[in-house]
């Protein structure tokens, strides 16, 4: 009975990936507990978020990649429609128009796009398998730029960046020629002044603050200064769980969400950071293996994009909290408190597992 | 075709694998960079960030010491501390302070005066300072605010020590007051290197004893290390270094004597200083009208300030130290002494007083206060009846520079050095002074006026009292001072103030002094100008009355108080010491527009002497002379100056 239940639950679940994820998540829960000043409410809230996300992972793991490929375009189009809806009727919270009120609940359509964009691009390249031309890449770029543009306009730079990254990985892995890539990079460099001019003030401020946090120590620079102090003061071994002064005395802002690495780094030190990075690398390595062994273009590209997006999450967050990247709203994957990011991420890993466990059937 | 597709597929897969490897490499590089960053922060820079984190977490809060008490010579409290709740606001934390205060007024009482005071305070302070909007909150008000606290971010209830002056206006000019530290104070504190000791201190002594002995009164600020959170709230105390309270000060003032003196002034303006001639202790220091120093403690409101500052009565002016008045006839004993000392006159020399004096070759008549004169007048009588004619001639014979020389020996023309700030030097004129001041030569006529304490001669009531004390103590220098002893806050030990023990030679000869003293005793005897005030006094009093013109008088113009504005009436002056044979108290009194020293100033001295020497308190009410214009002026001859 028990073994049958276990069989059911572990159906199409990739063991190594699941183990690495479970370890990271457990570590995350301990930090969320510390970062919420020992309040169980937040910790239980995160457990509930995890439960929901785990269910999503399991469900996605059961879905055949072929089905995912079939729903990719409709999902993408629906997501696009919702994004337009947000732009037209969205609710403004904290100065950004990100939420859409559906009457019974409010949603952030940009979260849907985190999955839909890499899938639709993978689907697109899968269909154009033979002889990809520049024209195909151009169209793919359009598929990518529309949602990214809409999300960046909300403004939600963090999410836009992540979705752009996921799409870019698909295009890159699909084989976009280096010549075009080089040209794009050159053009992008040339367009920087223009980008600067259309950026929101707070976005510009974040970049300026990164370059010199001390010029605004109580304003925008405060986050970075306090989080680097927290991490640095943690030393090699850390101050111990629940004993970080920067964290416990409230000096680290957003300490249970985007800046949770400051709490972790302060309390667990360099050793903790290395362990976390090793766990991330294990997850990424497993993802890369799945990607390399995937049997169709779609599954290859989708798996690669999901893995690399996860990597982007981790690096952007760790880079920003440790003060080497600008502050964008990106959570620390599997650790930061919050349900939506966790849901889209674990759903992504579900897809990865589905790709990993379904490949033999397709190979023939 | 299929082969082509296969090849394409194969080629694509190769590209894909290559690129995946490339990305794998990029991932390793990225994690490598992060590892380097973490190593830099957590290993190389660890101690730097550790320090920053500790600085964040640990706040050293100053613990303000209790200010020393101020007591009178008998231990009665003149300045004390009490703790009270204040409601303070940090303007920088509030969007609109005015609106917040309107809101606040619905919760606790905020008077118009509180608002005015706060507005003035806010103008003078930096907006990140915590400023009191209401002081002395009741328990109920504290509770009511606490319930509504969430509505008032930036507002905080604090228990603060307050200064109180339980005697109100009494001795206000001697005690002084404390006020909030202003920019000028900050500069002085910084210059004195006391910046650390004044951390957390809001108030500083501004005037009087409070100002002069700030150093003794303030104490040593302690400190407490507290762990704070990002909002600055103290979480727990880590260590504490106790403050050392300020020392208590015992003043030389006798509160009871001071009160009697102030009441004796009635509604008159003026000033008085009483000194123990044996040691220079100031027993009473009156400047009327006074002010309530309590008004200044938590910042005076503009209306009260204007009322004090613009009042024609100038209550903030310390007349005892800063009022420079012509001493009038009270200068005569000193003139006589100077003439004896310089051998310009011998005591027996007598003049026949026609009621005026003329300089050779000049038509101007220097009139005596008594029409027709006093007849034959020698030095003793000249003092007793206050003969002007005698002193006109005496001064003329001495010449101004010799007069200047002797007047300075009694302390005229220079500050006495009393131990509170603000003293003015008065003026003992000389040829040199006039040349410097007016670029004019000195005229003989100038000297004649100085002979009766008019003209250029100016003295403060403190100088009059000090000079009188010199007469009383046998001619030895007197150093008037207000501080008697410092009580150590910790050990409770009393440390009496050490005055400079200059056993300097008496400034005058004993026999000359005895002669003057005898004449001054007769001033309070039948025939003298102060006989009425001292009738039946069971102790001997040596005294001299005086009155001095406030406005210049033309030749032949008659002084008639009924036709003059009250503020142009003569000032009444009086100096005295008692008991004459063993002086324990010397006074210098100036009553503005009191007209006659014998009738308005001398009774004040009588009440003081009766209390100080006999323990007799004045009968209530009738004591004070009223400057009532309908009262007919004194006509008794001996009360005229």
A34-62 average pLDDT score: 91
The alpha carbon of B398 is separated from its chain's Cα centroid by a whole number of angstroms, namely 38
pLDDT bracket for residue B556 (50, 70, 90):
low
CA distances from B37 to A231, A240, B33 (A): 10, 21, 6
Which of A173, A274, A297 is opposite residue B19, by nearest beta carbon?
Answer: A173
pLDDT surpassing 70 at residue B549: yes
Which of B8, B17, B37 is opposite residue A131, by nearest beta carbon?
Answer: B8
Question: pLDDT tens, B453-500?
Answer: 999 999 999 999 999 999 999 888 899 999 999 999 888 889 998 876
List phi, psi (to 5°) of B225: -90, 120
Question: pLDDT tens, B362-392?
Answer: 888 898 988 888 999 999 999 999 999 999 9
* Residue A169 in contact with partner chain B when CB distance is under 8 A: yes
Check B42 against A169: CB less than 8 A apart: no
pLDDT surpassing 90 at residue B21: yes
Maximum mean pLDDT: which of A200-204, B158-162, B229-233: B158-162
User: Which residues in chain B have Cβ-Cβ distances shorter than 8 Å to A173?
Assistant: 16, 19-20, 23
Whole-number Å distance between alpha carbons of A61 and A11? 8
The pLDDT, as a whole number, for residue A320 is 92
B317-328 average pLDDT score: 93
pLDDT bracket for residue B328 (50, 70, 90):
very high
Question: pLDDT tens, B94-107?
Answer: 888 888 888 888 88
A140-166 average pLDDT score: 90
Give the global pTM: 0.69
Which of B9, B20, B45 is opposite residue A232, by nearest beta carbon?
Answer: B45
List phi, psi (to 5°) of B156: -150, 140
B33-54 average pLDDT score: 94
pLDDT surpassing 90 at residue A201: no
Transcribe A287-351 into DSSP letters. HHHHHHH--SHHHHHHHHHHHHHHHHHHHHHHHHHTTSS---S---TTTSS-HHHHHHHHHHHHH
For an interface test with A, the pick among B7, B16, B35 (most A C-beta atoms closer than 10 Å) comes out as B16
The residue among A362, A352, A303 whose CA lies nearest residue A13 is A352
The pLDDT, as a whole number, for residue B629 is 41
B265 three-class SS: coil
The pLDDT, as a whole number, for residue A180 is 86
- How close is the nearest chain A Cα to the Cα of B15, in Å? 6
The pLDDT, as a whole number, for residue A220 is 62
Whole-number Å distance between alpha carbons of A151 and A260? 25
- The residues that bridge with B617 in the sheet, in sequence order, are none
B367 three-class SS: strand
Please give the mean pLDDT across all residues of chain B: 87
Omega before B289 cis (within 30°)? yes
pLDDT bracket for residue B639 (50, 70, 90):
very low
Please give the mean pLDDT across all residues of chain A: 88
pLDDT surpassing 70 at residue B633: no
Residue of A nearest to B16 (CA): A173
- How close is the nearest chain B Cα to the Cα of A35, in Å? 14
For an interface test with A, the pick among B42, B93, B232 (most A C-beta atoms closer than 10 Å) comes out as B42
Residues of B with CB under 8 A from a CB of A: 5, 8-9, 12, 15-17, 19-20, 23-24, 27, 30-31, 33-35, 37-39, 41-43, 45-46, 48-50, 52-54, 56-57, 227-231, 235
Question: pLDDT tens, A16-47?
Answer: 999 999 999 999 999 999 998 767 888 999 99
pLDDT bracket for residue B638 (50, 70, 90):
very low
**Residues in contact with B288: Cβ distance below 8 Å, sequence separation at least 6, in sequence order:** B262, B265, B268, B269, B270, B271, B319
- How close is the nearest chain B Cα to the Cα of A51, in Å? 29
Check B229 against A250: CB less than 8 A apart: yes
Strand B483-487 with B494-496, pairing: antiparallel
Question: pLDDT tens, B504-529?
Answer: 678 888 999 999 999 999 999 998 88
Whole-number Å distance between alpha carbons of B208 and B247? 16
Cα Rg for chain B, rounded, in angstroms? 36
Question: pLDDT tens, B275-314?
Answer: 999 999 999 999 999 999 998 887 788 888 888 888 888 9
- Angle at which helix A260-293 crosses helix A15-35, to 10 degrees, equals 170
Q: Is the dihedral of CA B167, B170, B175, B177 positive or negative?
A: positive
Q: Specify whether the CB–CB gap between A26 and A47 falls below 8 A.
A: no
Tokens for B52, please give them.
């920053």
Please count the other Cβ atoms lying within 10 Å of the Cβ belonging to residue A229: 28
User: Which residues in chain A have Cβ-Cβ distances shorter than 8 Å to B42?
Assistant: 231-232, 234-236, 265, 269-270, 273
Higher pLDDT, A338 or B257: B257
B193-216 average pLDDT score: 90
Question: pLDDT tens, A205-244?
Answer: 777 776 676 666 666 678 889 999 999 999 999 999 999 9
The pLDDT, as a whole number, for residue A219 is 64
* H helical segments located in chain A: 2-9, 15-35, 40-62, 65-89, 109-127, 134-153, 157-174, 178-198, 201-211, 221-234, 245-248, 260-293, 297-321, 339-363
B542-569 average pLDDT score: 75
pLDDT surpassing 80 at residue A111: yes
The pLDDT, as a whole number, for residue A87 is 87
Transcribe B368-389 into DSSP letters. -SSTT--EEEEHHHHHHTT-HH
Question: pLDDT tens, B396-438?
Answer: 999 999 999 999 999 999 999 999 999 999 999 999 999 999 9
Q: How many Cα atoms occupy the beta-carbon half-sphere of B297 within 13 Å?
A: 21
pLDDT surpassing 70 at residue B155: yes
Check A245 against B42: CB less than 8 A apart: no
The pLDDT, as a whole number, for residue A340 is 85
CA distances from A324 to A225, A315, B37, B258, B609 (A): 12, 10, 8, 74, 85
High-pLDDT (> 90) share of chain A, %: 54
The residue among B574, B585, B329 whose CA lies nearest residue B480 is B585
Residue of B nearest to A272 (CA): B38
pLDDT bracket for residue B618 (50, 70, 90):
confident
Whole-number Å distance between alpha carbons of B146 and B527? 74
Check A280 against B33: CB less than 8 A apart: no
Q: Of B287, B329, B547, B599, which is the active-site residue? A: B329
- How close is the nearest chain B Cα to the Cα of A138, in Å? 18
The alpha carbon of B509 is separated from its chain's Cα centroid by a whole number of angstroms, namely 36
The residue among A157, A165, A162 whose CA lies nearest residue A200 is A157
Which of A130, A174, A322 is opposite residue B38, by nearest beta carbon?
Answer: A322
Check B23 against A169: CB less than 8 A apart: yes
Whole-number Å distance between alpha carbons of B198 and B66? 12
* Residue A280 in contact with partner chain B when CB distance is under 8 A: yes
Check A319 against B34: CB less than 8 A apart: yes
Q: Is B352 a known active-site residue?
A: no
The pLDDT, as a whole number, for residue B632 is 38
Query: Maximum CA pair distance of chain A?
Result: 65
User: Which residues in chain B have Cβ-Cβ distances shorter than 8 Å to A319?
Assistant: 33-34, 37
Q: Specify whether the CB–CB gap between B177 and B210 falls below 8 A.
A: yes
CA distances from A252 to A43, A205, A318, B43 (A): 18, 19, 15, 20
Quote ipTM for the complex.
0.93
pLDDT surpassing 50 at residue B196: yes
Which of A131, A269, A288 is opposite residue B42, by nearest beta carbon?
Answer: A269
A236-259 average pLDDT score: 90
Higher pLDDT, B78 or A212: B78
Whole-number Å distance between alpha carbons of A237 and B213? 55
* Residue A265 in contact with partner chain B when CB distance is under 8 A: yes
For an interface test with B, the pick among A37, A227, A229, A319 (most B C-beta atoms closer than 10 Å) comes out as A229
End-to-end alpha carbon distance in chain B:
141
Cα Rg for chain A, rounded, in angstroms? 21
The pLDDT, as a whole number, for residue A210 is 66
pLDDT surpassing 90 at residue A60: yes
Question: pLDDT tens, A178-191?
Answer: 888 898 889 888 88
The pLDDT, as a whole number, for residue B503 is 64
The pLDDT, as a whole number, for residue B640 is 45
The residue among B541, B523, B615, B639 whose CA lies nearest residue B582 is B541
What is residue B325's DSSP assignment? B
Whole-number Å distance between alpha carbons of A72 and B256? 100
pLDDT surpassing 70 at residue B622: no
User: Which residues in chain A have Cβ-Cβ distances shorter than 8 Å to B38?
Assistant: 231, 265, 270, 273-274, 322
């Amino acid at each position: 009975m028990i073994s049958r239940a276990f069989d059911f639950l572990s159906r199409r679940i990739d063991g190594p990936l699941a183990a690495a994820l479970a370890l990271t998540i457990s570590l995350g829960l301990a930090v969320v507990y510390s970062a919420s000043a020992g309040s169980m409410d937040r910790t239980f809230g995160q457990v509930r978020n995890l439960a929901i996300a785990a269910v999503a992972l399991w469900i996605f793991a059961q879905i055949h990649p072929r089905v995912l490929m079939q729903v990719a375009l409709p999902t993408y189009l629906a997501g696009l429609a919702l994004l337009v809806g947000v732009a037209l009727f969205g609710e403004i919270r904290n100065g950004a128009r990100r939420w859409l009120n559906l009457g019974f609940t409010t949603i952030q359509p940009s979260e849907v796009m985190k999955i839909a964009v890499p899938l639709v691009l993978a689907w697109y390249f899968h269909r154009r398998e033979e002889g990809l031309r520049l024209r195909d890449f151009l169209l793919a770029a359009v598929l990518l730029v529309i949602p990214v543009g809409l999300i960046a306009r909300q403004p939600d730079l963090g999410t836009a960046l992540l979705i752009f990254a996921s799409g870019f990985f698909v295009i890159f892995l699909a084989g976009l020629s280096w010549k075009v890539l080089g040209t794009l990079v050159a053009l992008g460099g040339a367009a920087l002044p223009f980008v600067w001019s259309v950026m929101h003030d707070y976005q510009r401020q974040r970049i300026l603050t990164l370059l010199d946090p001390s010029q605004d120590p109580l304003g925008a620079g405060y986050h970075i200064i306090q989080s680097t102090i927290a991490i640095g003061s943690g030393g090699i071994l850390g101050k111990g769980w629940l004993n970080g002064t920067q964290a416990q005395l409230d000096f680290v802002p957003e300490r249970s969400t985007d800046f949770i690495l400051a709490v972790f780094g302060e309390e667990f030190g360099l050793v903790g950071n290395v362990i976390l990075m090793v766990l991330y690398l294990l997850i990424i390595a497993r993802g890369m293996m799945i990607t390399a062994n995937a049997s169709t273009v779609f599954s290859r590209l989708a798996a690669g994009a999901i893995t690399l997006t996860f990597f982007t999450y981790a690096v952007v967050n760790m880079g920003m909290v440790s003060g080497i990247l600008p502050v964008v709203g990106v959570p620390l994957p599997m650790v930061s408190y919050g349900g939506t990011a966790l849901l889209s991420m674990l759903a992504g890993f579900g897809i990865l597992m589905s790709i990993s466990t379904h490949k033999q059937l397709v190979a023939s | 075709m299929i082969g082509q597709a296969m090849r394409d597929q194969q080629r694509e897969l190769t590209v894909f694998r290559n690129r995946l490897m490339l990305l794998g490499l990029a991932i390793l590089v990225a994690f490598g960079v992060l590892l380097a960053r973490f190593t830099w922060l957590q290993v190389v820079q660890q101690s730097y960030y550790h320090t920053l984190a500790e600085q964040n977490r640990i706040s050293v809060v100053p613990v303000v010491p209790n200010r020393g008490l101020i007591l009178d010579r008998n231990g009665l409290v003149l300045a004390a501390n009490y703790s009270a709740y204040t409601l303070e606001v940090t303007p920088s934390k509030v969007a609109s302070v005015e609106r917040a205060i309107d809101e606040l007024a619905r919760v606790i009482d905020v008077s118009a005066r509180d608002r005015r005071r706060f507005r003035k305070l806010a103008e003078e302070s930096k907006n990140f300072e915590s400023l009191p909007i209401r002081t002395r909150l009741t328990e109920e008000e504290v509770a009511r605010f606490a319930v509504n606290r969430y509505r008032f971010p930036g507002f905080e209830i604090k228990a603060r020590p307050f200064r109180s002056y339980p005697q109100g206006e009494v001795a206000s000019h001697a005690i002084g007051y404390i006020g909030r530290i202003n920019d000028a104070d900050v500069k002085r504190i910084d210059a004195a290197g006391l910046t650390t000791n004044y951390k957390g201190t809001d108030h500083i002594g501004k005037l009087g004893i409070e100002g002069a002995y700030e150093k003794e009164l303030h104490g040593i600020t302690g400190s407490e290390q507290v762990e704070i959170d990002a909002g600055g709230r103290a979480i727990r105390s880590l260590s504490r270094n106790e403050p050392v309270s300020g020392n208590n000060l015992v003043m030389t003032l006798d509160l009871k004597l001071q009160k009697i003196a102030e009441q004796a002034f009635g509604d008159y303006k003026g000033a008085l200083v009483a000194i123990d001639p044996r040691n220079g202790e100031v027993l009473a220091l009156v400047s009327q009208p006074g002010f309530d120093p309590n008004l200044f403690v938590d910042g005076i409101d503009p209306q009260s300030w204007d009322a004090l500052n613009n009042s024609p009565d100038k209550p903030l002016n310390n007349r005892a130290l800063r009022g420079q008045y012509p001493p009038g006839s009270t200068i005569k004993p000193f003139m006589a002494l100077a003439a004896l000392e310089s051998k310009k006159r011998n005591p027996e020399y007598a003049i026949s007083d026609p009621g005026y004096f003329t300089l050779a070759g000049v038509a101007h008549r220097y009139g005596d206060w008594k029409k027709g004169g006093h007849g034959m007048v020698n030095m003793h009588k000249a003092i007793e009846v206050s003969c002007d004619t005698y002193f006109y001639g005496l001064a003329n014979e001495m010449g101004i520079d010799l007069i200047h020389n002797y007047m300075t020996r009694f302390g005229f023309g220079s500050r006495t050095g009393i131990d509170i700030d603000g003293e003015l030097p008065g003026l003992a004129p000389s040829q040199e002074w006039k040349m410097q001041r007016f670029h004019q030569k000195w005229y003989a006529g100038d000297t004649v006026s100085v002979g009766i304490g008019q003209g250029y001669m100016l003295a403060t009531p403190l100088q009059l009292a000090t000079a009188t004390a010199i007469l009383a103590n046998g001619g030895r220098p007197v150093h008037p001072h207000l501080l008697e002893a410092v009580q150590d806050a910790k050990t409770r030990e009393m440390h009496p103030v050490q005055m400079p023990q200059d056993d300097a030679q008496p400034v005058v000869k004993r026999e000359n002094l005895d002669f003057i003293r005898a004449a001054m005793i007769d001033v309070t005897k039948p025939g003298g100008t102060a006989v009425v005030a001292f009738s039946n006094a069971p102790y001997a009093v040596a005294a001299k009355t005086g009155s001095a013109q406030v406005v210049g008088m033309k030749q032949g113009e008659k002084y008639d108080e009924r036709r003059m504005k009250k503020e142009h009436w003569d000032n009444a002056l009086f100096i005295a010491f008692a008991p004459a044979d063993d002086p324990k108290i010397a006074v210098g009194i100036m009553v503005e527009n009191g007209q006659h020293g014998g009738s308005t100033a001398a009774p004040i001295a009588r009440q003081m002497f009766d209390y100080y020497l006999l323990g007799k308190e004045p009968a209530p009410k009738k004591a004070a002379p009223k400057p009532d214009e309908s009262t007919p002026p004194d006509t008794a001859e001996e009360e005229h100056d």
